[in-house]
Amino acid sequence: MNRDALIQQIKSKKSFLCVGLDPDMDKLPKHLVDEDDPIYEFNKAIVDATAPYCVSFKPNNAFFEAYGLSGLTSLERTLKYIKANYPEHFLIADAKRGDIGNTSAMYAKAFFKRLNADAITVAPYMGSDSVKPFLTFKDKWAIVLGLTSNEGSADFQQQQINGRELYLKVIETCAQWGTDENMMFVVGATKANLFEGIRKIIPTHFLLVPGVGAQGGSLQEVCKYGLTKDIGLLINASRSIIYASSGEDFAVKAAEEAKKMADEMAAFFS
């Protein structure tokens, strides 16, 4: 998916919601447990219910890899289902890959060719050769970890080097390897007051923003400092939507939560 197509969908839906798919067998509704592939059936129901209100889906690989081969099969089935039935939705593989050149090239091949994801989250710690291989695929995106919402981000990302926070250097440097048409950055919603400084470095790049909802981030604050003329944000919500109910009405309740967030987002469109 290219940038124009993503922007068009955001503006037509008046939503910039990304629904995170983090399936946990311990949290799945009990009536799904006896299904041949309960994770896939759960994801499929969530996707169908929330698709009208979101523009993106983000399966988190860890929640599939934890179940071994069967989990990876569920992941592949989920990705294929989304691509076949909702091709207009921006599909993010939340895999946080990042390794030296040859390895990154194979990760890119796996997620962009075999699984046909539109984007993959990338860890830039190993430098340019851990990011650039993901930028060689047409209409595919690297979503680079910039400033994350977890408490541990203070250990490295927010440390000052020569009077400047490391995350600013990372964002500034990575932005030079790609463009706003093939690179985004992860910036956590719990750091909303820092968006203004980030926007001075990357005024037009899209930001993938986790942390709104269950983690305490504020949509209003994120939009205050992070919005661009093209919106420029994908707000991810996972637990607050997909686990809105643990009963047989789980998909209905997920749709209600997604609609609620989309309705809040609609207010930012003039």
- Residues with catalytic function: 96
Domains of the chain by residue range: 3-266
Predicted TM-score (pTM) of this structure = 0.96
Q: What is the DSSP letter of 99?
A: -
Question: What is residue 215's predicted lDDT score, i.e. its pLDDT?
Answer: 65
Report the DSSP beta bridge partners of residue 18.
Answer: 56, 236
**Per-run averaged pLDDT (10 residues), the chain, 270 residues:** 97 98 97 96 98 98 98 98 98 96 95 97 96 97 95 94 96 98 95 91 97 77 94 96 97 98 94
Tokens of 6: 């993503």
- Specify the DSSP class assigned to residue 186: E
Q: Ramachandran region of residue 227, left (φ > 0), alpha (ψ -120 to 50) or beta?
A: beta
Closest to 119 in 3D by CA, of 102, 101, 98, 135: 135
CATH tag, 3-266: 3.20.20.70
Phi, psi of 119 (to 5 degrees): -155, 160
Roughly how many angstroms between the first and final C-alpha of the chain, as a whole number?
Answer: 25
Cα 247 from chain centroid (whole Å): 26
Rounded CA separation 214/239 (Å): 7
**Predicted local distance difference test score (pLDDT) of residue 213:** 66
Give the closest residue to 168 by CA, choosing from 201, 191, 203: 201
